[in-house]
């Protein structure tokens, strides 16, 4: 695995050492049990895998390279580099400006750009339409393209499916940058439809089996299918790909469900002619982080903390997994922790930040589950640990606790 050059302030004195030890002991990633850092009065169960993945580190390295190589030029990002406010704010502090927000709304008019400008394509990738706009302006769209290789893998798989006359079904969130980019590319070669979850897959299955009227299809899936999509024609031969930050087991559930539907309609012997095996499009990093989170669920703890951007899809899914068992707090950084009792936490269901007064329990020792999203720097996780230690007053110093873990 490549070692990326990213600014030192993204790294950390505690988490970096924890990760290094686990990597040395388990290079083949067979052990998904959490790391345990025990400070006496507080103990952290830290996920085996979390934080920056290959695609994120690649994007950050390229972005800072663009800054270093073009001191006299204007530098733009199509939208947020990754879904982490600290990373994006640091890039903006270097003069980078955003052309669009995460929903694709224009912040800077295309007419303001010229061929001398530098435009960085974010890790999520972008649509064919936007690439064409940039080319017409004269912008080099490949020099600072930070699209994650695993996102490109999904695009390539979609292209192969289309050329083999499959309809592409994307498991993803319609308005997410990555799904918009995948949809844009997939429809170049194939009829394409986006499904958010198993419930929408079940509805699609009813259309495939004729249990719903085809005339209802446009209203049910409005804005989620390609132009001239014809269900009777386009739902005979299908393949499922995903937004790489979705829950892997949900993508597999959708694939398995649709396989059953196609077997019902065409028979088990003919299934290979109607459904492609696309499990190879699942992102290894997302899968590792989610599996490590399942490892956290095997522990007993007082609470869980998930750190990351509130608009981060992969981070939100970690919250979904943990809140099934633990009282879970979703924060962007240590700045959200105001006292032992007071914390600002993002409610993923109400989609808003909520001020809470039931943060740390009064009993000691406290056991805390800790993880972060793929776009969260380790230094921010360190900051959360340190903030809690400041509040709890540990009976063991950070140096001693880390020494005990590393020995």
Q: Read off the CATH number of the domain in which 314 is found.
A: 3.40.1010.20
- Give yes or no for residue 122 having a pLDDT over 80: yes
Instruction: Give domain status of residue 1, yes or no.
Output: no
Radius of gyration of the chain (CA): 23
pLDDT band of 280, cuts 50, 70, 90: low
Q: Residue 8 — pLDDT band, cuts 50, 70, 90? A: confident
Shared domain check, 31 and 94: no
Tell me whether residue 142 is in a domain. Answer: no
Predicted local distance difference test score (pLDDT) of residue 245:
84
**What pLDDT, on a 0 to 100 scale, did the predictor assign at position 164?**
95
Q: Is 3 part of a structural domain of the chain?
A: no
Same domain, 93 and 103: yes
Judge whether 336 lies within some domain.
Answer: yes
User: How much is the pLDDT for 370?
Assistant: 98
Do 72 and 47 lie in a common domain?
A: no
Q: How confident is the model at residue 320 (pLDDT cuts 50, 70, 90)?
A: very high
Q: Do 290 and 389 share a domain, yes or no?
A: yes
Residues 58 and 48 in one domain: no
Residue 205 has pLDDT above 70, yes or no: yes
pTM of the predicted model, to two decimals?
0.86
Options 57, 178, 200, 250, the catalytic residue: 178
CATH number, domain containing residue 62: 3.40.50.11270
Taking residues 324-351, report their average pLDDT: 97
Average pLDDT value for residue range 162-184: 95
Domain boundaries, position 44: 8-53+285-406
Residues 175 and 266 in one domain: yes
Per the domain annotation, does 24 fall within a domain? yes
Question: Is the pLDDT confidence value at 279 over 80?
Answer: no
Residue 347 lies in a domain: yes
- Find the mean pLDDT for residues 126-135: 96
CA distance 248 to 279: 9
Q: What angle do CA 365, 366, 370 make, to 5 degrees?
A: 140
Same domain? 315 vs 373: yes
In a domain, 2, yes or no: no
- Any domain includes 145: no
* CB-based burial, 282-317: b 16+ in 10 Å, e otherwise: bbebbbbbbbbbebbeeeebbbbbbbbbbbbbbbbb
Q: Report the number of distinct structural domains present in the chain.
A: 3
Q: Which residue reads 């879904």 in tokens?
A: 83
> Does residue 101 or residue 277 have the better pLDDT?
101
Q: What is the arithmetic mean of pLDDT over 237-256?
A: 91
Tell which of 282, 311, 340 closes a domain: 282
Residues 334, 231 share a domain: no
Is 152 considered catalytic here?
A: no
Share of the chain above pLDDT 90, in %: 82
pLDDT tier for residue 104 given thresholds of 50, 70 and 90? confident
Q: Burial level of 253, CB count in 10 A (0-12/13-18/19+)?
A: middle
pLDDT band at 96 (very low <50, low <70, confident <90, very high): very high
In this structure, the answer to whether residues 293 and 402 fall within a common structural domain is yes
Q: Is the pLDDT of residue 2 over 60?
A: yes
Residues 244 and 366 in one domain: no
pLDDT of residue 53: 85
Clarify whether residues 277 and 156 are in a common domain. yes
Of the residues 80, 113, 137, the one at which a domain ends: 137
For residue 1, pLDDT over 60 is answered with no
Do 158 and 265 fall into the same domain? yes
Last residue of a domain, one of 282, 306, 325: 282
Average pLDDT, the chain: 93
């Amino acid at each position: 695995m490549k070692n990326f050059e990213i600014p030192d302030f993204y790294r950390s004195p505690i988490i970096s050492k924890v990760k290094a030890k686990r990597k040395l002991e388990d290079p083949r990633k067979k052990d998904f049990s959490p790391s345990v850092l025990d400070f006496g009065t507080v103990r952290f169960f830290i996920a085996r895998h979390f934080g920056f993945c290959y695609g994120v580190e690649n994007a950050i390295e390229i972005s800072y390279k663009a800054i270093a190589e073009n001191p006299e030029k204007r530098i733009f990002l199509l939208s947020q580099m990754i879904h982490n406010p600290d990373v994006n704010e640091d890039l903006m502090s270097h003069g980078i400006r955003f052309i669009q927000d995460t929903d694709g709304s224009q912040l800077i008019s295309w007419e303001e750009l010229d061929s001398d400008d530098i435009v960085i394509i974010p890790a999520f990738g972008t649509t064919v339409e936007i690439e064409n706009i940039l080319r017409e302006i004269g912008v080099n769209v490949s020099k600072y393209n930070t699209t994650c290789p695993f996102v490109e893998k999904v695009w390539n798989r979609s292209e192969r499916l289309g050329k083999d006359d499959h309809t592409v079904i994307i498991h993803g969130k319609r308005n997410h940058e990555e799904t918009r980019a995948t949809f844009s590319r997939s429809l170049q070669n194939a009829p394409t439809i986006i499904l958010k979850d198993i419930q929408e897959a079940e509805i699609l299955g009813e259309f495939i089996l004729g249990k719903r009227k085809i005339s209802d299809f446009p209203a049910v899936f409005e804005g989620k299918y390609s132009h001239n999509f014809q269900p009777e024609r386009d739902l005979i031969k299908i393949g499922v790909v995903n937004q790489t930050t979705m829950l892997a087991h949900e993508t597999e559930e959708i694939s398995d469900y649709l396989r059953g539907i196609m077997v019902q309609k065409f028979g088990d012997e003919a299934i290979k002619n109607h459904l492609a095996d696309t499990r190879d499009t699942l992102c290894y990093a997302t899968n590792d982080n989610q599996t490590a989170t399942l490892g956290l669920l095997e522990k007993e703890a007082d609470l869980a903390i998930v750190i990351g951007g509130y608009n981060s899809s992969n981070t939100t899914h970690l919250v979904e997994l943990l809140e099934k068992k633990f009282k879970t707090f979703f924060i962007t950084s240590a700045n959200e922790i105001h006292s032992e009792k007071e914390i600002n936490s993002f409610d993923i269901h109400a989609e808003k930040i909520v001020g809470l007064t039931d943060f740390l329990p009064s009993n000691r020792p406290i056991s805390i589950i800790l993880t972060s999203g793929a776009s969260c720097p380790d230094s921010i996780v360190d900051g959360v640990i340190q903030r809690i230690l400041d509040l709890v007053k540990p009976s063991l110093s950070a140096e001693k606790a880390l020494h005990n873990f590393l020995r």
